[in-house]
Structure 1
Amino acid sequence: MQFLSDSHGCDGWKGEMAERIRAFDWSLTELGPLAMWPASLCSTVQLMLASPLPMVMLWGRAGYMIYNDSYSKFAGGRHPFLLGSPVELGWPEVADFNRNVVDTCLAGGTLSYRNKALILLRDGVPEDVWMDLYYSPVANDEGIPSGVMAIVVETTEFMRSERLRQEAENAYRADNERVRLALNAGALLGSFVWDVKNNVLSGDERFARTFHYPPGQDLGNLPQAYTESQIHPDDLAWVNERVGHSVQTGEPYNAEYRVLRPDGSYLWVLASGCCEFNEQGKPFRFPGVLIDIHERKTAEESLLKFTRNLEQRVADEVGARLAAEEQLRQSQKLEAIGGLTGGVAHDFNNLLQVIAGNLHLLARHEPDNLNVQRRVSASIAAVERGAKLSSQLLAFARRQPLSPAVCDPRQIFEGLGELLQRALGETIQINMQVVDDAWRVHVDRNQLENAILNLAINARDAMNGEGTISLSASNVRLDPEFCVGKGLVPGEFVRVAVSDSGAGMPPQVLAQAFEPFFTTKADGHGTGLGLSMVFGFVKQSGGHIEIYSVVGEGTRVQLYFPRSLRPLPDETPLHVPQQRGGHETILVVEDNEAVRISAVELLREEGYQVLTASNGDTAMQMLLEGVAVDLIFTDVVMPGLIKSSDLAAWAKVQDPAVAVLFTSGHTRDIISRNHQLSPDTHLLSKPYGPQALTRMVRTVLNG
């Protein structure tokens, strides 16, 4: 076998990928050092690098990947990690497909696919794609197939365009069918042509019958004066105006008017046409059709007869529009505050996590020092208050991660009874009313209970700790008028209401009730985030919140949640005994060094074997190199090409799957949709303590 040295076989390679191939340590693969590559492989790589088409070489039984610049763009975030990687490891979601390709071509066969449908992970999300794929064997210097040359041309946009074209053709056929049915049903009352130059009107038999021309009338020369005499006097000027406008401007002609019937009544028709112009730009021909619209116009007139108080209706519409515009301005203001809140929360919670982690470690290392324990307890309490503040800000900003599930309002109220009584005190009476057939809702139960508790505490404070608080849940149907400007779709909702008989709020205070940090309580007795948090949670859950208050009479807050038709989940508890760590290995992926160090120490004290990575890129490289782990404990938001969602996608397709636990102070929707977590996504929010960490790790490891 002849071999080419690196200087001989690689001199002709050009481009970014050529440099990457030369720089890669191929001695770690079955190909061996670049200097030992066979001449056939070197020449094939040179041909591939010069091609404008996306091409990738799969060498050997493992299919080690060597590809050109065009393929690197197709690979997206997986580049450059694919270089030198076995194809089944680089593209795990289509591993079986690629194994068949390698086996077939190494046996001397070829494969080709036109618009092959595949599902690939892109940014951690499965996506339907279509490809033109061509595979052929590549022989070594002895002529034995040793690799596969693949040409990959993505046709996803073409296929989507074809689908749209097909849908358009189907719609076109449907429109033609509707026109044919309309003609068969008699909606077309005739066609006409006006010879503009010679001022001659002609029409078909149906047109002549519509205008009641006498029998035997020459259809090629219809008297225009007679035609005009059959048009309602109130409509004639309008018809002539529309005809003249079309002749002058070339715009389509559409005019609705009434034609006299033999019995003296009138028939509503729609005349449609278009003026045609000659090469000199002069009008010479005006064809058109006449369509029966009598039933529609009759229905419109009937509707107008039942419409009363038009001025009031206009005033109501204007008022609703002004209210909607005001709500839009308020929403935009809250969205701007929310964007700032989300960015600050991530860094703020990271700082709190560093403080909390070290405090817990200090407490463990000094168990007998009472001064240390007392001061650590006070500091941890302050951290928890800071975490609650951050959580309330995220709730207001509609950026908290939710875990919604189908809930029964009656069960929620029954579970809250004792908790509310303890929280509000014995001097407060609680009146609960829930309809027997309350509809189900799809919400985060913990957040809903927290929202009701917040509203109840506000109600207690408004009554100075004495009085009756009424809580209710009822089924309501919201009409379109109510939903205008509220971001709601009319339909069936569950209304949860909390009422008090306290001092009430004046209009100027009521207008600011949902704004963050606004409070009427004395300093040190409230953050002003209670109602803001409730507002954000309700809006994030697809609902609506309203507050009514009258000075001296009290306040009523109403929460609206869309009805869910899905069944209640099986809530049979699974009794999993708490276990300490043992043989499991955990990969901690965290870009904040201080957070990473404290998490590692807490886990090692529990007995776990811990590996670390400072970002997703390093973690993915470790995993692709074969590092075996039982759990990936990863921060959600990190710098680098590989996102935490990419790590989770990789873990999910392994056999067996690798468990993943996310942690974050703010997810930024990287692992969620509109901050709604899927049931198989596990998130530990920062800051967390040792008990929360070990309990969550154990839960995820236990499946």
Structure 2
Amino acid sequence: MQECEEQTSSGKDGKDCDPPYVETPHPSTGEADSFDKTLIENELRFHTAMYHSPHGFAIVSPNGRWISVNPALCKIVGYSEEELQETDFQSITHPQDLEEDYNLVQELLSGKLDSYRREKRYRHKDGHYLWIQLDVSLVRKNGVPNYFVAQIQEISERKQAEKALRESEERFRQLAETIDEIFWMRDAETNRLLYVSPAYERIWGRSVESLFQNPDSWLDSIHSDDLHLVFPNIRKQNEQGGMNEKFRIVRADGSERWIRAHSFKVIGSDGKVDRIVGVARDVTKQHELEKQLAHSQRMESIGSLAGGVAHDFNNILTVIMGFSSILEQNKYDPQKIMQSVEVIRNTAERGASLVKQLLTLARKSESFFQLISLNEVVREALNIAKSTFPKSILIEADFQSDPIRINADYTQIHQIFINLILNAKDAMQKGGKLTIGMKEVDRASFSSEDPIVSQKRFALLEISDTGIGMNEETKRRIFDPFFTTKALGKGTGLGLSLVEGIVENHKGFITVESVLGQGTKFSIYLPVETQKPKSLRTLDKVENARHGNGEWILLIEDEEMILEPLTNYLSHFGYNLLSAKDGEEALSVFSANRDKIQVVLCDLNLPKVNGIEVLRKLRSMDSSKTLILASGYIDPQLRPEIENIGLKYTIQKPYKFEEILRILREI
């Protein structure tokens, strides 16, 4: 039996022949004579086209038997034309697909449908099933069903691809719905949200349904202090499809969580951006660990500086004690008295500065980004080095004169510098030179090996030493956590890892150059902030400070040696003073003199009732008074309480009395 796919348009004798004619009910010879010639030609053209079509074509009787089939259909199902014409379509249809076939055929026969399309399965001659797309229409003659015209296209590969896609999507959904991270997807063209994993409800504390109703509702939870981090990234995400940011959210129950969010674009087969997908995860625990790590590293730095700090403080005390003796010996020599007072004052300020630097280094606080002067941070940290490093190390600094402003966390930038100069000190055990350079550079100055960044201007901080240097293996691993070349107990190996993390958190990058036996240079690039500070308060010199006019001030201070000289000093400038030595006495004095007291200067650490509680009660008693808080150290965790009280001024101890006058003048 000849296979249909082997048939050609030539007969056995090699002569051309017409395609097989459709075996359909046709008119008698007499009736055929009346047929229009054009109609016959059109029918022949139709059968010729059907025979040569790459898709399967068939003429099927109303009862389902194959009347005529083309070679393409034979090839699809593996049967010859003769084999198919001996049977019907039901015999090669998958049993599960027959019921729908019967229903659709009945709707065609009844006139409810003119045609239909469906996907179904045929059984191949070798026994396997294949998927086809079937288009069927009914031809009527004089209103009576005559035959069906069917077009058959094999879609097995497409169905397999769809099945694989469904399985892949199901695996993806199972994965996305079980991981701890939030996974989301949106359409790049319409910005329509397509999917959000259930982790959103657990982390954000809001329903997924609410997010689909308002795709921007997740922004309502962003901490107000972090909105400036998120909104620029949203614009970047919409324009470039990328986001990488860490920020805080405030849940409905008031709790805060730290979030790390990443997003990226997915390119479709046409080369265009098809989807934007992203992952957001709760990094609160990680953030707390990083904060503890940073604090422990700062404590390690203080330990490294302890010897130098003790030496410097002893020198400070020696100077103060020495010039106090000179005062005693020259109590009637005004010139020497003033000279001694000036030296004691300057030395005390030097000690106060050293304490402030140590407090900065030891501070345990949340990241707080603000506009700061990099010059001031580095100079302050450099003073520690000059005070504590051995004299065998020469320190040179080369800063540009114009201030360099960056948006940064003051404590973290301070930590970077301290870590790097301590490493330089350790690398120069026998002495050497430490060189600090700082300037603004533009992107064009970067070498081809530097990271590609969008920022145009950077602050470049360079720390160079003439120490022992590093080999290539050490240089390659220098930023790895817990990697150290120091002896056991001499270092944790976390310092440079912490430095790199801080730099990256500030959208910058760090490079290192080193030659074994010749020294090392670290280069830190931090984005420059072009905007000017919102306000820079300029304080007048004490000579221009306005005298008081009998205003009443309540001083709350438990240290008599601070209270007495401050009282005398302010009285000299025309102010009236009341005093209290603990919180309870302060409340009593204020109640008795509420009408005349205009300003309250209160120490933080007081007996009986602490300073913040005293000021809170005073504010509730009279909201018109100016309240000032003084302390040697204010824990950052107390800042919200201070802000709630509405304090305009806080003063760092040890304060200069002139600072009090300046504040009083502003008031």
**TM value normalised by structure 1:** 0.37
Query: Which gives a bigger RCO, structure 1 or 2 (Cα 8 Å, sep 6+)?
Result: 1
Give the structure with higher Rg (CA): 2
**TM value normalised by structure 2:** 0.39
